Structures are given as structure tokens and as C-alpha cells.
Amino acid sequence: MAGTLEFSPDDRYNAFITTCRQAPFADGPLAGTAVAVKDNISTAGIQTTCGSRILEGYIPPYDAYVVELLRSSGAAIVGKTNMDEFGMGSTTETSAFGPTRNPVDPGRVPGGSSGGSAAAVAAGLVPMALGTDTGGSIRCPAAFCGIVGLKPTYGRVSRYGLIAYANSLEQIGPMARTVEDVSRLMSVIAKYDPRDSTMLDRPYDHRPSAEIKGLQVGVPEEYFGEGVDPRVAETVKNAIGVLEDLGATTVPVSIPGMRYALAAYYVICTSEASSNLARFDGVRYGPAVDTRKSWHEAYQDLRLELFGPEVRRRIMLGTFALSAGYAGRYYAKAQVARRNIQQDFERAFREVDIIAGPTMPTVAFRLGEKTDPLSMYLSDILTVPANLAGIPSISVPCGRVDGLPVGLQLMGRQFEDERVVDAAYAYEQGVRA
């Protein structure tokens, strides 16, 4: 199949930063399929900004590996989607290019940081999109916009060409309106790449199955505790009941280290961000600095002018956590907490096949509602554990509260992405039957 794909996005939602004129596309498993790509994934010849003024006008000279795979599959890359600046946020409000709006209710946030990708899919502008997930940035907007989003096992999808925020946590993953389409896109992008030293050679080539009879589903009490809207909790419990009706068995499990998860995550991710974003200095990346000033002054002024407040906040937090006299007190302890959380999941997975709970503690909130950084950070409480543990996690729509979507989160053992996808597919098919 060959042809040219015309694409004129509806900009009511501000889902795209850049749109692309399409050349003829080749045959392949995604031939003729429009795919949107988050704007922190490198695309040769196409502006890639990370939602930041400091990279406005930056044109990568090469494609990320996932983009190479999309092109070779016949997909048409129709645009780069809006995002929280450098992936730092849960609402897509920190973008230097304005907030994205939720197509379900344009007065509400779409989630973040992959909010543009989720909104583009939810609005029907594209059937599929790529997002990235550092602490929930695929699953949060998938839940808020009522679509499906998969955070793969860490090391399953190449990060070559991804502009790094927190290397040890982030993964590129698929977003779509159905589990089947998420699995199709995952089959294209999950190929081994020796340029990413964190990868293992575990390609994904899977067609979802709705057969889950005998599946052991762990239900952790920590996912239904303080801070979770009781109506969201009830909706998710009803969805877990659907899995039981389909032949699964539920088992209570515990992830006691969850009480440390959010603190550990924000120490680790800000520390890595402090290091990764040092390159945006007006010499290596970013607009040229004023050479009449001292390097120190020029560096400071450029970053103050072109980084948004949330990015500056996280850089400062990470720099402090890594500074002399404090690295042992904060960063080292955060890594111990991370290992404890990994061990909690390992123990739970000796008893069960997957773990189920809400994706987000609430439904999508109103634009501008969470101006306090701490309240925004708290919204990540249910998604960051999967990133700290490096396990696969999917969000699938499971109902509505006050007309707004609720996401069911399903997590599995490392490299058992297929089982997680099957459980989500079984639920999706079960409620459609």
C-alpha cells in the first residue's frame, strides 16, 4: 500500500507542538497508520523541543530508534505532541507552548507528561501515539483521557534518541484507544537495539488473548488507601470483579515500601535531571550564550530565561540531593528505598501473576487547580512504584466518575508485558461483551 496521508489536526486541544507534511509511505504492519510522537523523541528533520523554549527550533540530525522502526513499518508520523517541559509534570500545563486540554472535558487537564499524545488519541486525531513514562507519564494521561497506555518493562524498548530526563526510570511506550492497537504498536517498537546499553534482547511480538482463567490477581491495600477518591476506588474494585467473572482469582497482597515510593522517586528523578539537563548551556545545546559575560553569568542567565519554573525547581532539588554532605542522606537512602520496593513486588509476584489497582487517585482535575507543586507530586503516588521497580504497567479505561474516565492499572513481572496486555485485553473484551 502506498499513498500520502493528509493531516490537519483540530487545535482546540493544543495536542501538537509541530505537525509534519507526509511523504509517501511504504508497506508494513502499520502502513497508512497515522502515529503521533511525543516531542522529547528525536525525529530527523523535524523540530523536537521537549516542550521547552530552550530547545525551540532544535532539529535533530537523526531519528530515535523507535522512529526508525515506525518509518520502516509504514507508519506516517504526523506530528510531535505537546508535553510538560522535559517531562516534568502530571498535567501538561508546564509546557512552554501552552497547556493541552482534555478532549473529554476541555476545562480539565489531560494528565502528563504525555498529555498531547493522549489528547490526540482521545480526540480521534490519530489512532496511535508514542509517549514516555518516567513516573506515570503514559498511564496518567491514558487514565485521565480514557484511552489505553502501556509502560513497558525497563529495557524492553530502546531509549536511543530519547532526550533524557531520568535515565534509570523512563521508558518509551504505546498509547491507543484499544489494547489491541497498543499491542500492535508495541510489536513494532520493541526490537533490540545495541546502541541502548540498558536493553535486553527481548522483542515483543504478541497478539492479545482474552483467556485469563486461573490468573492470580493481587490487590494491594496500599493502592486503595488515603488520598484515593472512594468513588475511584469503588470503580476499580468493580473492574477487578469483572476479571474475577472472567475466571481470575483475587489475592490480597501488600507493597509496604509504597509509603517511601514518592519521596524516593522525586529524589532519584530530580538528581538524574540535574545531571542530564546540564548540557543545555548555550554551548552544547540551546541558544548561544552572551559571550561578553563570564561563562558562569551567561550560563545562569540563559537557563533562568529559557527553563520554566518547574524544570528549575527540579534541577535545584536534584543538585541539592547530590551535593557534598547530602548525597548519602538523600540520594543513597532513596536508592535503598527503591530496592525495598523492588523486593516488595518480587515477593508479591511469588503469589500472584499480576497486580491490580487504580491508575490515578482521582479523575482529571481542572486546569490551574493544582498550582501547589506538592499536590501535583502527590498525584503520582500510584504510578511511580512501577517505574522504581522497572516492571510493566498498563492503564485501561474501566468506568467513569462524574462523567470523567477512571483507569484500571495492571502491573506484572519484569518482561511479562504480554501477560499484562492479555489481562487488560480480557477486561476490555469482557466489558464490551
- Tell me which residues are annotated as active site: 38, 113, 137
Q: Which residues of 347-378 are buried (b: 16+ CB within 10 A; e: fewer)?
A: ebbeebbbbbbbbbbbbbbebeebeeeeebbe
Nearest to 54 by CA among 304, 274, 315: 304
Cβ neighbours, 10 Å, residue 296: 8
Q: Are 183 and 428 in contact (CB under 8 A)?
A: no
334/328 Cα distance (integer angstroms): 9
Beta bridge partners of 105: 102
Contact 383, 140 (CB under 8 A): yes
CB 188 within 8 A of CB 169: no
Beta strands in 61-163 (DSSP E): 76-81, 128-133, 148-151
Helix, coil or strand: residue 399: strand
CA separation, residue 373 to residues 2, 88, 277 (Å): 48, 11, 20
- Cβ atoms within 10 Å, residue 290: 12
